[in-house]
Amino acid sequence: MSLIDAIYTRQSVDRVDSISVESQAEFCKREAMGENIKIYTDKGYSGKNTDRPAFQEMMADIRAGKIQRVIVYRLDRISRSVLDFASVVDVFQRHNVDFVSTMEKFDTGTPIGKAMLMIVMIFAQLERETIQQRVLDAYSSRSKRGFYMGGKVPYGFRLTETTIDGKKTKMYEVVPEEAAIIEQIFSMYAQPQTSLGDIVRWLNENQIKKSNGAPFSRPRIRDLVINPVYVRADYQLYEFYKAQGTVIENRPEDFIGINGAYLYSGNEKKRKTVSLQGHILVLAPHEGIISSDIWIKCRRKCLHNSKIAKPVKARATWLAGKMKCARCGYTLSAKVYHCKTKADNRYYLCNNKYHSGGCNFGSLDADIIDGLIFEEMRKKLEEFHTLSKQRQENYDLRVIKLKTRMEGIDQEINSLLDKIPLANGAVMEYINGRIASLDQEKRELHDEIVKLAEAPNDSLDEVTGYLENWEQISMNDKITVVDSLIESVIVSQEKISINWKI
């Protein structure tokens, strides 16, 4: 029996990162020499490691001495890691297997191909040494590879021993009965109407306590719903953090919807801001509990709800600090006048009133002013939604255009492939060049679509939800909502003008 020419093709899940496996195979057949061809195909596998069924089957056939030549469409079909690639090629060499990549014109059956292989091996060695250098930076390298860095174990998990990269460490393990509570908390909070207070109440009513026996508090629940240890991190989560400016240690294709994640603050200060900027996200070795859909919903809800843990002294208006006197520029304050015979009255007064030669702004009925401004906020949000709907439509149109172009490219590649059997040298050269540039364009289009999807989603859905439930939310929450919409309000006896933030 003659030896096999093995053709290896691979394409990742959901990501149009190359031409189709069928086209890859067509391409490779031109390089095959004998009649005995076997195609190994991994569809839906990334190149992050070599743990792919068809690939492993091929390696077994190589070790069994059945294969004389391995042909791929592009080098990265074998692996995206130089280290993996080098060790694979090492196996090829030990079993006298030639290796051909059609795109890079890489053929270890030729002297130049052998020389290129040497260079690849040297770079792989260099990379190994660089990695060792990095290990010296104990903290960052440990945390960035998902090592357990100490600290309190979050509710829902316990610690268990594990080994990462040959080193003993600890990782989280799900505690099933606590995980059920976590799921309940997230699914409740994902409802727009549910507040942190509602969840605390529900936990108390059902006598559910923290691991140490103490009752849950609102700040604790808040910490819990924003902690990515609970999420099953997928590409959507990657995009969410990416859009926030978080440094992400793992590659997008590692976000496969299973692992939880650790979020390290860059400067080790306790979370003071709600922004995720400057933080580092690392995939953890444990399995998450909450789907990224629900987790992100809850996380988004908290972005506008940051002041919850900080007690602010009682305020007479949710416009506190925003109201400015049109005459003198001082801040207006709301004063409550208690009245025995009828309901209390609230008035806006200029803070400059009390100084000598002070402002003669007078006073305005705060209930009326607040009502007018609330109405304006509602209108402004409606306007904003109309605008962002238009933006969304433009965006959809753009994506459709890009995708249509990608389909056009596939068709052109296929028709070029059809011409190959009849092509002579010059035509063949043209076809090769054309397909290479189409392939390149396709990858650029794909990158552009990914970038479009990563654009920050600036819809103000949460704010709208708050306005609709205005009477139910706390004064602090109202102040936070207003702060996300309004820069300042300039008030005179005749006129109110609002400076918007949106």
Q: Does 325 contact Zn ion by CB under 5 A?
A: yes
Stretch that binds Zn ion, among 36-44, 115-123, 166-174, 326-334 (CB under 5 A): 326-334
**DSSP sequence for 323-371:** EEETTT-PBEEEEEE--SSS--EEEEEEGGGGSTT-----EEEHHHHHH
Q: How far is the CB of 360 from Zn ion (least distance, A)?
A: 8
Query: What residues form DSSP beta bridges with 499?
Result: 488
Q: Do 24 and 8 form a contact (C-beta atoms < 8 A)?
A: no
Nearer to Zn ion, 350 or 373 (CB): 350
**54 phi-psi bin (left φ>0, alpha ψ -120 to 50, beta other):** alpha
Among 350, 435, 460, 473, binds Zn ion (CB under 5 A): 350
**What residue type is 105 in one-letter code?**
K
Nearer to Zn ion, 44 or 329 (CB): 329
Nearer to Zn ion, 14 or 494 (CB): 494
- How far is 126 from 25, CA to CA, in rounded Å? 33
Range list of H helices, 352-502:
366-419, 425-454, 461-468, 475-485
Nearer to Zn ion, 323 or 460 (CB): 323
Stretch that binds Zn ion, among 97-105, 230-238, 346-354, 416-424 (CB under 5 A): 346-354
Q: How far is the CB of 321 from Zn ion (least distance, A)?
A: 15
Per-residue CA distances from 67 to 6, 32, 49, 53, 61 (Å): 7, 12, 22, 17, 7
Nearer to Zn ion, 297 or 324 (CB): 324
Nearer to Zn ion, 313 or 495 (CB): 495
Q: Does 327 contact Zn ion by CB under 5 A?
A: yes
* C-alpha angle 407-412-417 in degrees, rounded to nearest 5: 125
> Under 8 Å CB-to-CB from 293, ≥6 apart: which residues?
236
- How far is 202 from 196, CA to CA, in rounded Å? 10
* C-alpha angle 378-379-380 in degrees, rounded to nearest 5: 90
Matching residue, tokens 């070599």: 50
Q: Does 348 contact Zn ion by CB under 5 A?
A: no
Structure tokens at 420: 């190959």
Nearer to Zn ion, 492 or 499 (CB): 492
What values do phi and psi take at 35, rounded to 5? -90, -20
Stretch that binds Zn ion, among 67-75, 263-271, 309-317, 327-335 (CB under 5 A): 327-335
Q: How far is the CB of 493 from Zn ion (least distance, A)?
A: 11
Stretch that binds Zn ion, among 258-266, 288-296, 318-326, 457-465 (CB under 5 A): 318-326
| Rg over CA atoms, the chain | 31
Structure tokens at 148: 């357990």
Burial 35-61 (b: 16+ CB within 10 A, else e): eebebbbbeebbbbebebebbeebbeb
Q: Does 489 contact Zn ion by CB under 5 A?
A: no
Q: How far is the CB of 320 from Zn ion (least distance, A)?
A: 17
Pairing of strands 167-174, 157-164: antiparallel
- Build a one-symbol-per-residue string for 119-158: x at contacts with Zn ion by CB under 5 A, - elsewhere: ----------------------------------------
Q: Do 72 and 18 form a contact (C-beta atoms < 8 A)?
A: no
Matching residue, tokens 């988004």: 300
Q: Does 352 contact Zn ion by CB under 5 A?
A: yes
Structure tokens at 496: 């109110």
Nearer to Zn ion, 227 or 352 (CB): 352
Stretch that binds Zn ion, among 104-112, 124-132, 351-359, 442-450 (CB under 5 A): 351-359
Stretch that binds Zn ion, among 78-86, 196-204, 319-327, 426-434 (CB under 5 A): 319-327
Q: How far is the CB of 449 from Zn ion (least distance, A)?
A: 54
Nearer to Zn ion, 215 or 358 (CB): 358
Nearer to Zn ion, 170 or 327 (CB): 327
Q: How far is the CB of 330 from Zn ion (least distance, A)?
A: 5
- Build a one-symbol-per-residue string for 353-372: x at contacts with Zn ion by CB under 5 A, - elsewhere: ------x-x-----------
Nearer to Zn ion, 121 or 490 (CB): 490
Among 16, 280, 328, 428, binds Zn ion (CB under 5 A): 328
Q: Does 59 contact Zn ion by CB under 5 A?
A: no
Nearer to Zn ion, 330 or 395 (CB): 330
Total number of residues binding Zn ion (CB under 5 A)?
A: 8
Long-range (24+ apart) CB contacts under 8 A made by 137-142 are none
Q: How far is the CB of 489 from Zn ion (least distance, A)?
A: 13
Q: How far is the CB of 351 from Zn ion (least distance, A)?
A: 7
Selection from 190, 189, 191 nearest residue 221 by Cα? 189
Structure tokens at 143: 């945390």
Q: Does 333 contact Zn ion by CB under 5 A?
A: no
Structure tokens at 190: 């994902």
Binding site for Zn ion (CB under 5 A): 325, 327-328, 330, 350, 352, 359, 361
